[in-house]
Structure 1
Amino acid sequence: MSKNRDGGGKDDEIIRASDDLLTSLSKDPTIMQSIYDVLPNQEKLQEARDRHRSLFHQVVDGAHDKEPELEAARNDHVAKMNLVTGMATLTGKHDPTIPQKLGLVHPLTGKRSPAGGLSVPENFRMVYEGRMIIARGSAVKGARSYEIWVCEGDPFTEANWRHHATSGKINRIEITGLTPGRLYYFRIRAVGANDSGPWSNFISMMAI
């Protein structure tokens, strides 16, 4: 197998895998529809939210026998929210305004601090590994560590933010101690020997 100078040696492998996928889809056209059916629309998300809210209030009012139903409703609600926000984030690679309109990403006002010191950690993102949230980003020149701050309220109110974790590496920061079913906002900054850099964009994610 020949390789091009851009490292395209896997092209044949990708094309063969795509051929296999298309063959399977052609044999059973219902597969694609089943995939679409899993994705929640606004109506399905609203129904999941309403069921979750109703059961939550029932349990709070003393209906503790409903707790298993509440847990199932919570998990279903979170799963649907994550599907919607995940698809919106992926779509944002083609249209950045979509995740911004949903409040998933707050646009940055600048890349560097006023003094021209540490830069903003680029490619900041949050991903799930099982039920754990992992923060990742690109290393910043001159940084000795990185701070993750979290917000549970209005992310545009500075007083709502609090320090959550500090790490010497930015390629994998485990986020622990979160409450399942709660929506959080996260941001990161680089910390040097004598100063801290500007904040990244903030990202929202539901803990599971």
Structure 2
Amino acid sequence: MGKKAKVKRSLGRLNDASLSAQGKVIVTSMTDNPHFKEPYPEGVTPLAQIKGTLGNFDNACIEARSGAKQSLAQRKSFRAQFIDELNDLGDYVDLVAKGNVEILTSSGFDYTKESPPSQVKHPVTYPSVVLTQGVKRGAIVAKAKKFPRAASCEVHSTTGDPTVEGNWKHAAVFGQFKNMELDGLTPGQQYAFRMRWIMPEGPGPWTPPFFFMPT
């Protein structure tokens, strides 16, 4: 019997900006997640505490730009605390998911693949997306590997709280997936994006939110 899918333990390899972005995805995905109802069991780091540590880490990263030793040490301390708390939450996610890919996906954590592959294929049901800065000011480019039978890719965006469904707005629908450009965005404004495949039988599930600040 092969190994079950589980949360990756690779957060420590991320740079500060990537760690912060990944943390925001996890926090957003875990908020009001029906698979992981709050309050969490005793011994599991509360989500509110993780949110607080994330805020402290982001502020420490800004302060550390001064190069002051105390600021650098504080950033290092909050970074280590944030990683520890996310890893603790990852243990809880593994305990609940028990290898269920859909539950793991809903948590916002990256996860390992089953090994060896199951006889029954479990195709990815939402786009695997990479966001980059566009050539034009206030533009971004999204790239996704085409999913079999997908007719198009729908994009929603928000500058508000991504956990509030009413904040999401339709942004675009693309028929090709290598260079999906969104322009007319406000430079310096952080956006959350989500995407889904439009299949012959209807739309698929949304991705967890992607966070990006166009320049």
**Higher RCO by CA contacts (8 Å cutoff, separation 6 or greater):** 2
Q: TM-score of the superposition, structure 2-length normalised?
A: 0.45
Largest Rg, 1 or 2? 1
What TM-score does the superposition give when structure 1 sets the normalisation length?
A: 0.47
